[in-house]
Amino acid sequence: MSGELSPIDKAKFVAAKRAAEFVQSGMRVGLGTGSTAAWLVRCLGEKVREEGLRFRGVPTSTRTAELAREVGIEVISLDEAGWLDLTIDGADEFDSELNLIKGGGGALLQEKIVATASDEMIVIADAAKHVETLGAFPLPVEVIPFGWTASQALLEEALVTMDVLGRKTTLRMNGERPYITDEGNYILDLHLSRIGNARQLAMLVNQIPGVVENGLFIDICDRVIIGYGDGRVETRDINAGTVSEERVEFVEDDNLFRDI
């Protein structure tokens, strides 16, 4: 039931519900990964079942693909889609220029490929994800398992020349074993505290041997929809330079909450 949701979950839900309105029948839509993106998939599933919405979704992880199929969304691969009309995803951080840190859920590689193969990217988030400067959230970097310690050492050496506050790097773990991405890779989390020049850092990190991709999404997001616990949503459009606010209504017996 919606009344049992925490304020943060309510914020995620209203942002997701507002973003779902951008999806139209016939579209090819990238579906993000993470807790906020999961709300989006549920909202879109409801529109499929109750409103007859018909679109094809390209998930950015096996978790999202499983949920999408469960709620009745037609799932295809990016290769089958060719190009996407829209991608909707969450973010771990975003700044005033709508640059992002993503990858907390471990799907940054597929997320970045899908987002850049789209005409538009919409990010859905709660207000706590907005920061003045990126970097408080650890920056995920996906690396191949072979020689990962060498890649880590090279990353730490490169960070000495960067405008960052911290330089600690850690291997992401899943219990006692390294976390494995859908592509069979490892993730190094960079604890930087503050990133002075995100664009420069993103370019440098991707030049390190063994690095597959990093979680900085620069000039990729077009619009961010911010949810609040009281039902308000704020939409920021970086291309139009506009900010709008409205309220999303939802009812206590909404079917979306039956299994929450």
Q: How far apart are CA 40 and CA 53, in angstroms?
A: 14
Q: What is the pLDDT, as a whole number, of residue 2?
A: 47
Q: What is the pLDDT, as a whole number, of residue 255?
A: 59
Domain 2-129+219-251 CATH (choose: 1.20.120.80, 3.40.50.1360, 3.40.190.10, 3.10.20.30): 3.40.50.1360
Q: What is the pLDDT, as a whole number, of residue 249?
A: 81
3-state helix, strand, coil in the chain (%, to 5): 30, 25, 40
Would the annotation count 52 as a binding residue? no
Q: Is 207 exposed, middle or buried (0-12, 13-18, 19+ CB in 10 A)?
A: exposed
pLDDT, the chain, mean: 95
The CATH number assigned to the domain with range 139-214 reads: 3.30.70.260
Residue 62 corresponds to which tokens in the numbers above?
A: 């096996």
Would the annotation count 36 as a binding residue? yes
How far is it between the farthest Cα atoms of the chain? 55
Would the annotation count 242 as a binding residue? no
257 falls in which pLDDT band (50, 70, 90)? low
Q: What is the pLDDT, as a whole number, of residue 17?
A: 97
Q: What is the pLDDT of residues 49-80, one digit of tens each?
A: 999 999 999 999 999 999 999 999 999 999 99
* Percent of the chain residues topping a pLDDT of 90: 93
- Segment 209-229 mean pLDDT: 98
1 falls in which pLDDT band (50, 70, 90)? very low
Look up 21 and say whether it is catalytic: no
Q: What is the pLDDT, as a whole number, of residue 5?
A: 86
Would the annotation count 34 as a binding residue? yes
- Segment 207-230 mean pLDDT: 97
Q: Which of 111, 176, 234, 252 is catalytic?
A: 111
Contact 88, 58 (CB under 8 A): no
Q: What is the pLDDT of residues 68-127, one digit of tens each?
A: 999 999 999 999 999 999 999 999 999 999 999 999 999 999 999 999 999 999 999 999
Contact 228, 218 (CB under 8 A): no
- Segment 15-26 mean pLDDT: 98
DSSP letter assigned to residue 42? H
What are the structural domain ranges in the chain? 2-129+219-251, 139-214
